[in-house]
């Protein structure tokens, strides 16, 4: 059996996407060598979905890890589902392909499985990921999201990505793409912050109605070592309700938080650089939460975001509301 078919969802373009993926965004203090080791460990454990992005600046290390596991016979290229993303400084249509080419070159791959618009914010092109003026204000660019999407479609037509999708888009932005005249390919997924404290129920309902998979990042809360994370939020994995359900099932709170997303029909991304936790987090396919468990976890929603919005001076702010 094709390993990709195990515990996968079928996207609206026919391709398969594994329901559990390894996230690779890391705090700046984490050596990039740890990302490479984490990817190799994850592939050994059974992960076949690896999520990264141009802006994470770790695709050379991820590429080395993937090729080492191909070389030792653990996987073939077609077993791996790899995601990258185009950052806002590359939103001009003529730069969308440039960003993807750069990622492919760093990875040593001829194609990615999924190419996402990273966020709905066009930024001034250049070397800085978040360009700012002398007053410290973010410098935006005037690019129509639909023009960026046209360029994404061309990347798919060129065979450089199997599928295309979005990240951090609310319903308003998704509708802008879906209603675009001459739309050739719908987004196959929308990757957003999602966990029991931010269950994204309205956005999930909308995405399901449009045959768009919702993918959860920060599914375990977040790593408070990251510089941009809201440090004032409660720690999800210490929540008493989550821990009580975990104790009942003989599981870790992280396993329950991940299982919650899978049973809602989401794809979940989970990140760790610890070998034991990478293994533990993958053990989510051999137990079921009860309807009562799911209701209790759904009731934890507080609309808490661990990732604050840096672009409050953009004319289209706020970006990440459900509606």
Say what the pLDDT of residue 115 is: 98
- Residue 308 falls inside a structural domain: no
Residues acting as catalytic residues: 56
Report the CATH number that the domain containing residue 268 is assigned in CATH. 3.20.20.100
Buried/exposed code over 184-215 (b: 16+ C-beta within 10 A; e: otherwise): ebbbbbbbbbbbbbbbbeebbebbeeeebbbb
Q: Which domain holds residue 161?
A: 8-299
Concatenated DSSP letters for 141-193? Answer: ----HHHHHHHHHHHHHTTSEEEEEEES--HHHHHHHHT-TT--S--SEEEEE
Identify the H or E element spanning 106: helix 93-107
Say what the pLDDT of residue 1 is: 42
> Token pair 């289209």 is at which residue?
316
Is position 15 annotated in a ligand binding site?
A: no
Distance (Å, whole) CA 274 – CA 277: 5
- Residue 191 falls inside a structural domain: yes
Say what the pLDDT of residue 105 is: 98
- Residue 318 falls inside a structural domain: no
Give the residue among 236, 227, 283 at the shortest CA–CA distance from 255: 283
Distance (Å, whole) CA 251 – CA 112: 34
Mean pLDDT, 10 residues at a time, the chain of 323 residues = 69 98 92 96 98 97 98 98 97 98 98 97 93 93 97 98 97 97 98 97 98 97 62 89 98 98 98 97 97 98 82 54 50
- Residue 97 falls inside a structural domain: yes
Say what the pLDDT of residue 78 is: 97
Are 229 and 223 spatial neighbours (Cβ–Cβ below 8 Å)? Answer: yes
- Residue 169 falls inside a structural domain: yes
- Residue 278 falls inside a structural domain: yes
- Residue 267 falls inside a structural domain: yes
Give the residue among 15, 11, 51, 19 at the shortest CA–CA distance from 210: 11
Looking at the structure of the chain, the number of domains it has is 1
- Residue 319 falls inside a structural domain: no
Say what the pLDDT of residue 222 is: 73
* Backbone angle region of 70, left / alpha / beta, with phi > 0 → left and psi within -120 to 50 → alpha: alpha
Say what the pLDDT of residue 230 is: 62
């Amino acid at each position: 059996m094709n390993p990709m078919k195990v515990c996968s969802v079928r996207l609206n373009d026919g391709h398969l996407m594994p329901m559990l993926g390894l996230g690779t965004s890391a705090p700046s203090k984490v050596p990039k060598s740890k990302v490479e080791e984490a990817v190799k460990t994850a592939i050994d454990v059974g992960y076949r979905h690896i999520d990264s992005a141009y802006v994470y600046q770790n695709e050379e290390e991820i590429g080395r890890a993937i090729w080492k596991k191909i070389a030792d016979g653990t996987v073939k290229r077609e077993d791996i589902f790899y995601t990258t993303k185009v950052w806002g400084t590359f939103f001009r249509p003529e730069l969308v392909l440039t960003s993807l080419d750069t990622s492919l070159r760093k990875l040593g791959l001829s194609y990615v499985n999924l190419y996402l618009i990273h966020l709905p914010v066009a930024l001034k092109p250049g070397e800085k990921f978040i360009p700012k003026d002398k007053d410290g204000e973010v410098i935006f660019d005037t690019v129509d999201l639909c023009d960026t999407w046209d360029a994404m479609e061309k990347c798919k037509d060129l065979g450089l990505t199997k599928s295309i999708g979005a990240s951090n888009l609310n319903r308003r932005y998704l509708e802008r793409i879906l209603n675009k005249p001459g739309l050739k390919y719908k987004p196959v997924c929308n990757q957003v912050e999602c966990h029991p404290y931010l269950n994204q129920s309205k956005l999930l309902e909308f995405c399901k109605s449009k045959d768009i998979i919702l993918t959860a990042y920060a599914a375990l809360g977040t790593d408070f070592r990251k510089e941009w994370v809201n440090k004032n939020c409660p720690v999800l994995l210490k929540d008493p309700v989550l821990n009580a359900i975990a104790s009942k099932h003989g599981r870790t709170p992280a396993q329950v938080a991940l299982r919650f997303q899978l049973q809602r029909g989401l794809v979940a991304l989970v990140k760790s650089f610890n070998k034991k936790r990478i293994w533990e987090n993958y053990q989510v396919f051999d137990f079921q939460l009860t309807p009562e468990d799911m209701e209790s976890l759904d009731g934890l929603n507080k609309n808490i975001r661990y990732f604050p919005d840096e672009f409050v001076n953009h004319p289209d702010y706020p970006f990440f509301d459900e509606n």
